[in-house]
Amino acid sequence: MRVSLEWLREYVEVDVALETLIERLHGIGLPVEQVERVGDDTVLDIELTANRPDCMSVLGVAREVALLLDRRLRPPGPKAAARPPAAAPRVAVEIADPEGCPRFTARVIEGVRVGPSPAQIQRRLEASGIRAINNVVDVTNYVMLELGQPMH
């Protein structure tokens, strides 16, 4: 899992030396295999094992770093208020396993224009080893990297 320090710092204060952070991550079973500079950012390539699916996202790693450094986690929140649809939804969600997934929602978004993603999203995708395609494709990859939720 490639984790951008710039992105990680959005969720947790990282005020220790890079070497200290790497040692502490290793101590909890998240060894850093490689450190790479990508532009102005530093990217940690963290080896993940099957018993750590909680760290398969930037937010998951941020949770661990917050615990390691005794810092407050700043989880992402909604950026804009979403209004409920005025009429019945035009998309149906079927949950095959209500015990495993008690709730899942979908939303129709109209008026989307396909084009380049904002520069920050492109940089974060690149730092994570994913090539930017366009705003529609990139947002699904961004959500997967940030939250660990595959979107397709």
Q: Domain residues of the chain, as ranges?
A: 2-69
Q: What CATH number matches the domain at 2-69, 3.40.50.1360, 3.30.56.10, 3.90.380.10, 2.40.30.10?
A: 3.30.56.10
| Amino acid 103: pLDDT | 87
C-alpha 117/C-alpha 104 separation (Å) is 26
pLDDT (tens, 9 = 90+) of the chain, 152 residues, equals 999 999 999 999 999 999 999 999 999 999 999 999 999 999 999 999 999 999 999 999 999 999 999 999 998 877 666 666 565 667 888 899 999 989 888 878 888 999 999 999 999 999 999 999 999 999 999 999 999 888 77
Question: Which pLDDT belongs to residue 85?
Answer: 58
41-77 in b/e form (b: 16+ CB < 10 A) is bbbbebebeeebeebbbbbbbbbbbbebbebeeeeee
Q: How many residues does the chain have?
A: 152
Tokens of 114: 């396909």
Q: How far is CA 71 from its chain centroid?
A: 19
Indicate the residue type of 18.
Answer: L
Helices marked H in the chain — which ranges?
Answer: 5-8, 18-27, 58-69, 119-127, 135-147
The pLDDT assigned to 128 comes to 94
Distance CA 140, CA 137 (A): 6
pLDDT of the residue at 16: 97
- The Cα–Cα gap between 128 and 19 comes to 20
